[in-house]
Structure 1
Amino acid sequence: MPTRDHQYWVYILASQSRRLYTGVTNDLARRVEEHRAGVGSAFTRRYKIHRLVHFEEHRNVRDAIQREREIKAWRREKKTRLIESHSAGWLDLAPSSPAAR
């Protein structure tokens, strides 16, 4: 029986004031929409953390969880450098839907 590829995502969301949230999921689009709808995280709901500013794909859930923990342990300056290495303007990398805004 062939092995099915898996996808896991480590992601960073930011608020307009650049408050950060780091998470892991197996469905990035769904999870971003959940955050935008205020589902699943009181922290992101409270601080309006909805912009996807960084994401990484992993094939192994253990690797993804390890990477999430690594990023969460970093100082803010290091997280900022990671985000700005891909998006200097902290642009939202997730497609918008009318319901998301």
Structure 2
Amino acid sequence: MSVAIFSQTTKWIDMVIDRSKNYTYIMANYSNTMLYVGVTTNLVNRVWQHKNRAFRCCTRRYNCGKLVYFEAYGRFLEAIFREQQLKAGNKNRKHILISDFNPGWEDLSQDWLF
């Protein structure tokens, strides 16, 4: 792993561990054809739930177990508003957003210990 990737991963983990934050996130299946937009107050726990198919939902049916994008907010209502914006947008806009943030569409949670 290169230093740049390591420091970027460390930055993401530091952002996620801050419990005062609220998150809007996008999960993708492993072929990047299905996207799921969600909101949570505990991103680590929610990603674990998606990866382990803890609930019967869209992500379980379509195997959306890859965290490809997230944003952190101080207020939960801001995160909900952003989730609604992303859900209202078309798939192409989401692809551009993800590609700008995560060009390789890597699983941002791959180094997290579950």
Determine if the TM-score, normalized by the shorter chain, exceeds 0.5: yes
| 1:11 maps to 2:25 | yes
1:7-57 Cα deviation digits (max 9, x unpaired): 100000000221100000000010000011111352101110000000000
- Runs of 4 or more, structure 1, over 6 Å off, are none
**Structure 2 counterparts to residues 17-32 of structure 1, below 5 A:** 17-18=31-32, 19-32=34-47
- Structure whose residues are more often helix by fraction: 2
Structure 2: runs of 5 or more not aligned: 1-18
Task: Give the whole-Å Cα distance in 2 for the aligned partners of 1:43 and 1:22.
Answer: 10
Cα RMSD, aligned residues only: 1.8
Secondary structure in 1 matching 2:24? strand
Q: 1:98 deviation in Å?
A: 7.8
2:99 corresponds to which letter in structure 1? E
Structure 1: runs of 5 or more not aligned: none
TM-score (norm 1): 0.86
Task: Give the whole-Å Cα distance in 2 for the aligned partners of 1:41 and 1:63.
Answer: 26
Which residue does 1:55 correspond to in 2? Answer: 70
Q: 1:82 deviation in Å?
A: 0.3
Aligned length: 95
TM-score (norm 2): 0.77
CA distance change for structure 1 residues 96 and 46 in 2, over 3 Å: closer, same or farther?
Answer: farther
CA distance change for structure 1 residues 41 and 23 in 2, over 3 Å: closer, same or farther?
Answer: farther
Task: Give the whole-Å Cα distance in 1 for the aligned partners of 2:108 and 2:47.
Answer: 10
